[in-house]
Each structure stands twice: as C-alpha cells, then as structure tokens.
C-alpha cells in the first residue's frame, strides 16, 4: 500500500484519481480549496485518509497547505493535479498581485514541491496545449503581452513540464514525470470534451503506484501510459533553471538542491 496526496481532488480528474487509488488499496489524502469544498469531497470520498484545505491563489495558503499536508505524510507519491483553465476574458490578479493562472498552475506546485518532504514519485498534470506554450522568462505573468487566456494557460502547462523535468534532473532519487490526461469531460474540460473521466485518471494513477518498469522512469512526458516528446523547449536545462529562479523570486521559496 502506498500513501498518496492528490491536489485538486474535490472534483474532476483529481477526484477520479483519488477514488481509483483508494479502490486499489492505497492510502489517499485529498485536497480542496475551501472548507465548503472540503465538506463536499468528504462526502464524495469518505474513505480518504484525510482532507486538507488550501487556497492555491494565495502564497500564504499554499505554504500553509504544504505544512498541513506534511502532518499527514510522508507520501510515496504526490500528484499535482490542481489547476485552473484559460477561459477568462481579462488578466486577473491574486491578492499577492500575481497573475492567477500562473500562480495556481505553476507557482503552487512549485511551492508545494519545494516545501514538502520529497516523495518517491511526483506527477505533474499538464495539457496537450503545452505544445502551443511559450516560456518568456521576462513576462511569465503576461504583463507586457496582449491578454489571451488560452495562451496564458498553454504557457502555464508548458511551465509544468519544465518544472517536472527540472525536479527530475535535480533530484535523481525521485521519479518526477508529467502527464497530458487528454481532453476529459470535466467542468474544466467542458461539454465538448472527447474523453471519459476514467481515462484522465489512468496515467496519473499508473505513474504514482505501478511497479511496471515502464513507469519506473523520471523526467518523461506521458499520455495514455505512452511516453511522448514534449514541446522541445521543455528539454532546455538553462530554461528549466531560469524558470526555477523566477519561481523563487516570485514566491520567496527556493527549490532545495
């Protein structure tokens, strides 16, 4: 039995991932962004080992979440599933003055990774839209460019791939991989999505728990349990390091060596 934390598990892929792992006999800690959502996930997944609460649009909330998660660890695997979409008409700032999509999708998993005890496995959810992403280290928050919510989302998902690859390189004892779950029929995916919910959870569950030799790798990009090539810029180690430096500057948290 493994102990697994799944962020953003109040609904969608995260909830399905947590339920699947529990059915497989694993111990699972789930996460919601508010007390109200936590009550909902407690009812939906009563077998969860614990429900932790943390608002990822807040740096303070994310730091507190790392601390609360630690109280229920250690973990064999952490699945960074939480995220927000790009369907917003204008650039929105958090209370920290940070662009919301970048803060939730990139800075939150970065801070949690940096502050939590290292698990044996890390899984970061990305999107096939990472192929359209751009990593401009001088404008990660889209302050200079005309606002395009879907481009900001694509950029954030490419940053998640760089983060997974950077962690894999820096922490060779940890299996750090990233997953495109597909276009899944969830609230985030929308009614036009083509793929069923269980398919979105399948690969994160496999990477977090399987003894399959194909899953015993690090620094890889997967979809449907198949290793694929990510956006070519994701393999640029200088860009990976540049992203880590910018994340540290935005959050005041440094990823340990």
Full pLDDT tens readout for the chain, 257 residues: 899 999 999 999 999 999 999 999 999 999 999 999 999 999 999 999 999 999 999 999 999 999 999 999 999 999 999 999 999 999 999 999 999 999 999 999 999 999 999 999 999 999 999 999 999 999 999 999 999 999 999 999 999 999 999 999 999 999 999 999 987 777 676 677 678 888 999 999 999 999 999 999 999 999 999 999 999 999 999 999 999 999 999 999 999 99
Could you give the C-alpha distances from 189 to 52, 144, 183, 185, 193, in angstroms and in order? 24, 28, 6, 5, 6
Tally of residues, the chain = 257
Determine phi and psi for 216, rounding to 5 degrees.
-90, 55
Q: Which positions are catalytic?
A: 153, 157
Supply the pLDDT for residue 117: 98
Determine phi and psi for 223, rounding to 5 degrees.
-150, 130
Supply the pLDDT for residue 189: 64
pTM of the model: 0.96
Could you give the C-alpha distances from 98 to 24, 56, 57, 88, 240, in angstroms and in order? 39, 12, 9, 15, 20
Can you count the helices (H) and strands (E) in the chain?
Answer: 8, 8
CATH of domain 3-251: 3.40.50.720
Asked if residues 95 and 74 have their Cβ atoms less than 8 Å apart, the reply is no
Supply the pLDDT for residue 184: 77
- HEC string of 239-254? HHHHHHHHHHHHHCCC
Query: Which run of H or E residues covers position 226?
Result: strand 226-228
Q: Delimit the domains of the chain by residue range.
A: 3-251
Instruction: For residues 72 and 28, give the distance between their C-alpha atoms in angstroms, rounded to a whole number.
Output: 10
Q: Which two tokens stand for residue 9?
A: 């598990």
């Amino acid at each position: 039995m493994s102990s697994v934390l799944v962020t953003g598990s109040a609904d969608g892929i995260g909830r399905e991932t947590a339920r699947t792992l529990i059915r497989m006999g694993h111990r699972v800690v789930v996460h919601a962004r508010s007390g109200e959502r936590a009550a909902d996930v407690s009812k939906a997944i009563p077998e969860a080992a614990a429900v932790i609460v943390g608002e990822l649009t807040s740096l303070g909330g994310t730091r507190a979440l790392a601390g609360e998660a630690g109280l229920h660890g250690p973990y064999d695997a952490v699945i960074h599933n939480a995220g927000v979409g790009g369907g917003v008409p204008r650039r929105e700032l958090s209370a920290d003055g940070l662009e919301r999509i970048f803060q939730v999708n990139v800075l939150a998993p970065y801070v949690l990774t940096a502050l939590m005890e290292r698990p044996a496995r890390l899984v970061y959810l990305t999107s096939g839209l990472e192929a359209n992403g751009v990593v401009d280290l001088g404008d990660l928050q889209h302050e200079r460019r005309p606002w395009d919510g879907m481009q900001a989302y694509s950029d954030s998902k490419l940053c998640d791939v760089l983060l997974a690859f950077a962690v894999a390189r820096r922490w060779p004892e940890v299996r750090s991989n990233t997953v495109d779950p597909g276009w899944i029929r969830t609230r985030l995916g929308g009614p036009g999505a083509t793929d069923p919910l269980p398919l979105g959870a399948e690969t994160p569950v496999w990477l977090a728990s399987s003894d399959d030799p194909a899953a015993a790798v690090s620094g890889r990009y997967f979809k449907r349990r198949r290793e694929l090539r990510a956006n070519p810029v994701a393999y640029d180690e200088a860009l990976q390091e540049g992203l880590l430096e910018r994340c540290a500057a935005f959050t005041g948290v440094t990823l340990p060596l």
